[in-house]
Amino acid sequence: MKVQIKKKRKQEVNDFQINPIYQIDDTLNLDRHGALQNASTFPDFQNQLEKFKIELLNNIEKAKSVSYYKFGDGDYYFLKGKPVGSAKPGNRALSRQLTKSELNLYRKGACENDKYLCEIYPENRKKFKKVLRNTRIDYPSEFIYGLIASRWVTSLPYKIGLIGSANKLAIIKKLTDSAEYKNYIGREEFQSYISIPQRFACDNLDLRLKEIAEQITIGNSDLYLVGIGHLKSGVLHELKKMQNAVFLDIGSGIDALAGVVDSERPYFGNWKNFRLQDEKFYDDLDLLNFNGQNIIQLD
């Protein structure tokens, strides 16, 4: 399938403004969820944001093996075994329905991470508690979106590796040949690229763990940015056993780094989607909801 990139979509932002308490520097949030208009939804947002940043830096500095799991409504459907959205067999994560024993491995693994993040949306927090009952939400997922979108994370002076779909990692690796792209994300390179299949990665958990283990010994990073969809529930907690590093689930942040993130994703309203000249990189690429906004075409 050839990707058809549409012209940049005009953004009307004057009709909606998030409450200042939820703003993150150097980002634009076009998310229209009502929870973001009400300061009482999460009044300690800014204090917790600073706490999260300090904690993350300390864990990296001390070379702690820590996994940060970001929960979204898609994870609810996947862990519940409900064929909805990306959890529907044939759509993205799966080509078939998992057996009960296979799904239980994902459910068990999802509960074995160190830190958990979930959007401040009340309905998503309820979903979180339904599938991760004995687990505490440590931080809002909005922190991940905002700190990737602002390039705060990619500008950190540490060795950073990426774990994501092979197709998107190939694009990111090529993008780092561009001085303009490197200046934008605030770093010269990523130290390692650990890939998974773009589609149906959850079909065979044992195989995915073996493939990742073989690759992770090649790289040596202080921080890994992980964007592997629902596979994270079975893999993320295992990664910290493979290497002494911080593993941060950034979800669609991998799409942003590959230049294919939708501008209406939280905090990515002004993100620059850098695009390669060579169209072959975009053949059969899983674009999620990307409609071709904010494209910067590289020469």
The domain ranges of the chain are 45-297
Task: Note the pLDDT of residue 15.
Answer: 55
E strand or H helix at 185? helix 179-185
Contact 85, 91 (CB under 8 A): yes
Residue 9 has pLDDT above 50, yes or no: no
Residue 4 has pLDDT above 80, yes or no: no
In the 8-state DSSP scheme, what is residue 62? T
241: tokens are: 């056993």
Residue 14 has pLDDT above 50, yes or no: no
Q: Give me the mean pLDDT over the 163-169 stretch.
A: 96
Q: Quote the CA–CA distance of 125 and 112 in Å, as a whole number.
A: 18
E strands present in 197-243: 223-227
**Better-scored residue on pLDDT, 131 or 3:** 131
How do residues 92-109 score in pLDDT, each as one tens digit? Answer: 899 999 999 999 999 999
How do residues 200-245 score in pLDDT, each as one tens digit? Answer: 999 999 999 999 999 997 668 999 999 999 999 999 999 999 999 9
In this structure, of 20-29, 188-197, 279-288, the range with the lowest mean pLDDT score is 279-288
Task: Note the pLDDT of residue 218.
Answer: 66
E strand or H helix at 256? helix 253-257
Per cent of the chain over pLDDT 90 is: 86
Q: Give me the mean pLDDT over the 187-192 stretch.
A: 96
